[in-house]
Structure 1
């Protein structure tokens, strides 16, 4: 019995020692695995930091005309789409939509209305910085357009493409287009008109002329109605308010507002709450506009 007891204790001690050795090995393996996990985690964090760090973005050109001219020597057909531009004498790059198929291409889109999904009832800051989806409805932003058209030794034209609700197509073009800086509220300057939609920017008399007018928005009033204007025998204190809180180059309201908001037209029959180009008419009645695109293109370089 005594011998059996000693044998049993030895067996138990051997088993316990074996378990301790196994635990030591397991502990070592766990420690090694944790070390590998920590190393891997550090590498992932470092990779993410590199991935999301702010780095200079390589631009495709100074504007869409410049991009077209640069790429034509490389590829036979340049697709329309979103490109990165870096205008001269600016410290930033930004995205724009370039139309490369329309009338020879090279157009930088500054405004597009197609489906009514983007709200154009915006304050001054939004019109300065831009809003919407570049691939769809959007306003590029007055500051960005200013940087594009004020590059050294460049001249830009403006093209307005209009489509009515019954799919009639028309346009208005200006052979010169420029904006002043924000201090002068991005006043617009237009050259000679050509087209089939009429010169709504200038209207029929000086009181309707929006050429050289500063930009206005719901919270920045430069419309020339001081303290009010008489429009169609109605007193108007704010052209932006008259046009559903949208922004435009108003001059005593005028005959053009391609940012006009059509959503409330049926609720406000007495007010012009739609996309407006009043000189485009059929049988004396202005066309109801369902889509419009404003685009600019470089047309001359003076060396």
Structure 2
């Protein structure tokens, strides 16, 4: 129910955001075009220089009229005479008179051109900023959004790039195993689930870092993903347990953090409440251990090998939820579990 409502709300929000973006984009495009056209016209004014003096205008019946309106009869041309002497140089004439002679009008036109150019640049910046905002809108901030954006392509087996802080302007991304990411109807993110032993949990370091299994069956979400999620904000942990004798119990912790790989995914857990007994505090501040990465506090042996599992072992364990099914799958060490589900939720 939670997932369906979230996806519906997300789809409606993105639909309206997309419509608003398209309308705004059209407006900006029109303004940009108008500014560009106006600029082109302003840069190519119809300035032409013309003279206002007419030297000779042809008349009718073989006559011509000079500028002084004196009529002259034109006969048959005679022989060309000898060249005359070079005359005196005339005085410099008046400068060419232009159609636009008002200097103030020219200055006003130049100011208009500069305004249009500035407006054009502003419009281009707004279009670029709008493109960036649209790209930001469709960047997933969590696995639910990632699955929505990629629903037609399916979810890849690798880690998905998520932008959890994009809404506050931080474009740093994290990698999360969305193929195993699952939220129950109450909004809890499931990080481990076991109930029938169909998935082998005795695996190496890399498998526990990346995650394994099937989110619709038994699985481990992955240390890297759990670290990325719990580093975003404060989370609490709940562990639901079913024992072989039929008892159903739970343990809840008000604070749960998994460190980075540099810290060997160190566990920080506190604030127990519940019915199953506190079997996690013993593992607090301990690094994660697998059969090929011995980070426990037991100097004589590898606790992962002894417990046939992988956990935040101390020397060695009070709980062993990733131990071999039917033999080492326990809470505490001397009990045998039928099922377990570890899940976290933001506070």
Unaligned residue ranges in structure 2 (runs of 5+): 1-137, 147-159, 165-171
Give the one of 220, 223, 230 matched to 2:296.
Answer: 223
Correspondence for 2:195: 114
Show structure 1 runs of 4+ deviating over 4 A: 58-61
Deviation at 1:113, TM superposition (A): 0.4
Give the one of 135, 155, 159 matched to 2:216.
Answer: 135
Distance (whole Å) between structure 2 residues aligned to residue 59 and residue 99 of structure 1: 20
TM-score normalized with structure 1 length: 0.58
Residues 254 and 270 in structure 2, CA contact (< 8 A), matched pair in contact too: yes
Correspondence for 1:257: 320
Distance (whole Å) between structure 2 residues aligned to residue 196 and residue 112 of structure 1: 19
Distance (whole Å) between structure 1 residues aligned to residue 174 and residue 255 of structure 2: 25
SS at match of 2:225: helix
Give the one of 236, 240, 247 matched to 2:310.
Answer: 247
Deviation at 1:145, TM superposition (A): 0.6
Q: Cα deviation per residue 1:26-46 (whole Å; 9 max; x = unaligned)?
A: xxxxxxxxxxxxxxxxxxxxx
Question: Which structure has the higher relative contact order (CA within 8 Å, separation 6+)?
Answer: 1
Correspondence for 2:88: none
SS at match of 2:196: coil
Unaligned residue ranges in structure 1 (runs of 5+): 1-57, 68-83, 203-208, 229-236, 266-273, 280-285
Deviation at 1:201, TM superposition (A): 1.4
Deviation at 1:87, TM superposition (A): 5.5
Correspondence for 1:292: 340
Deviation at 1:238, TM superposition (A): 1.4
Give the one of 230, 236, 243 matched to 1:157.
Answer: 236
Deviation at 1:183, TM superposition (A): 0.8
Q: Cα deviation per residue 1:239-259 (whole Å; 9 max; x = unaligned)?
A: 111112x21000011211100
Residues 99 and 107 in structure 1, CA contact (< 8 A), matched pair in contact too: yes
Residues 98 and 106 in structure 1, CA contact (< 8 A), matched pair in contact too: no
Give the structure with higher Rg (CA).
2
Distance 1:159 1:85, change over 3 A: farther
Q: Cα deviation per residue 1:205-247 (whole Å; 9 max; x = unaligned)?
A: xxxx210100000000011112x1xxxxxxxx11111112x21
Q: Cα deviation per residue 1:85-130 (whole Å; 9 max; x = unaligned)?
A: 93624244542443433xxx11111100011000001000000000
Give the one of 182, 186, 196 matched to 2:275.
Answer: 196
Residue 162 (structure 2) pairs with residue 86 (structure 1): yes
Aligned CA RMSD, in angstroms, stands at: 2.3
Correspondence for 2:58: none
Distance 1:219 1:190, change over 3 A: same
SS at match of 1:240: helix
Distance 1:114 1:60, change over 3 A: farther
**What is the aligned residue count?**
189
Higher strand share: 1
Deviation at 1:63, TM superposition (A): 5.9
Distance (whole Å) between structure 2 residues aligned to residue 92 and residue 149 of structure 1: 13
Distance 1:165 1:61, change over 3 A: farther
Residues 243 and 338 in structure 2, CA contact (< 8 A), matched pair in contact too: yes
Distance 1:109 1:85, change over 3 A: farther
Give the one of 134, 138, 142 matched to 1:62.
Answer: 142
